[in-house]
Amino acid sequence: MTTDQGGVTVTAHALHVPDPAGAPADTAATAAARDLFSSVAPEPACGPDQAHTVLGRKGLLFKEDSTRLALCAVHRALGLPPGRLTEPLPGAEHTAVVVSSNFGNVQTVRDIVAGMRAGSAHDVSPLNGPNASSNVIASTIAIRYGLTGPNLMVCSGATSGLDAVRLGALLLRGERARRVVVVGVEPGDDTARGLAALGPDAPGAPATAAPLRPAAACVVLDSGGEGPRLGDVRRHTRPDDIAGDPAAPTPLRLTAPGAADTGGIDLTAYLGEVYGALGVVQLAVAAAWLSAGQRPEPGGALITCGDGEDGYASVRLDPADSPVLAGAR
């Protein structure tokens, strides 16, 4: 496969993962994931109940956990000081938002349905009703930061994170946006965890694999900006089916859950299951790792997410000064 970089770069990134789960045993896979994640995310992340320490208190009433975590990740990626914006965000016009989350508002939907069954629609709070929208996370981000570009929500299973990245890159290449804020987020509430537990086990994953964990990450994509260069997202049926990628070196490989034996690092061995957020979490980790300039050898990162039921998606992320990009348009 020929990767077309298309001039898309990752110009900003942030991770917001409260209290990573770790693993039942301190294995080599867990240690590798822990060391990598800790090196690029040294600051602790607050939980959704403490989101006001990042966002300020105003505007958080009735906001769900996933929305609060996503807002924290975006706030950090945009480099904003703690608290609510006091003036318009520079560059907000023509900035798109693409969010990946499979379980973002399932708790709210369940609660609203249960309340209506027990009583009537009059029992649903007008402040909580909008949270039942499948697009509530993406629209809340756009409203809070005044982002006027396309607004999309992706709920496509285990590849959802990189599917959102792909859509963000398409918006830039199609000149539908000048900048794209891509977010991956999952909550850790009981309803989301119960649904996640019904999914297929990752191949090779331990029977005591960690349950769904609250997590969020944000990457900002730009056309021709300063930062690591994003390749094309490609789909495949096996986690190791990446031989068709360019032969450029990839000293960092982030694998799908349960596929660390393909020669990479499985971040979920340390973070726990983050499902639809994983692809964006991986991309943010890779961007931070490349930006730190501590690579042991030349080359970029290869990121893979997915599972045996939904298939797999991969993308390359190369350093801004990579000679591979010399002919990229």
In a domain, 248, yes or no: yes
In a domain, 143, yes or no: yes
**pLDDT per position in the chain (329 positions), as tens?**
333 445 899 999 999 999 876 555 578 888 899 999 999 987 889 999 999 999 999 989 989 999 999 999 999 999 999 999 888 898 899 999 999 999 999 998 988 888 888 877 777 788 778 888 889 999 999 999 999 999 999 999 999 999 999 999 999 999 999 999 999 999 999 999 999 888 766 444 444 456 899 999 999 999 988 899 999 999 998 887 764 455 566 889 999 997 766 679 999 999 999 999 999 999 999 999 998 876 667 789 999 999 989 999 999 999 987 654 433 33
In a domain, 52, yes or no: yes
Residues in the chain, total: 329
Distances (CA, A) of 127 to 133, 142, 227, 267: 12, 18, 40, 36
What pLDDT is stored for residue 123 in this prediction?
76
What pLDDT is stored for residue 132 in this prediction?
84
In a domain, 267, yes or no: yes
In a domain, 1, yes or no: no
Per the structure, the count of domains in the chain is: 1
172 backbone dihedrals φ, ψ, rounded to 5°: -70, -45
Q: Which domain holds residue 264?
A: 8-325
The answer to whether 46 touches 72, Cβ cutoff 8 Å, is yes
In a domain, 303, yes or no: yes
Q: What is the CATH number of the domain that holds 254?
A: 3.40.47.10
In a domain, 148, yes or no: yes
Cα–Cα distance between 68 and 73 in angstroms, integer? Answer: 9
Quote the tokens at residue 43.
């600051």
What pLDDT is stored for residue 117 in this prediction?
86
In a domain, 134, yes or no: yes
What pLDDT is stored for residue 76 in this prediction?
96
**203: DSSP letter:** T
The answer to whether 76 touches 54, Cβ cutoff 8 Å, is yes
What pLDDT is stored for residue 221 in this prediction?
98
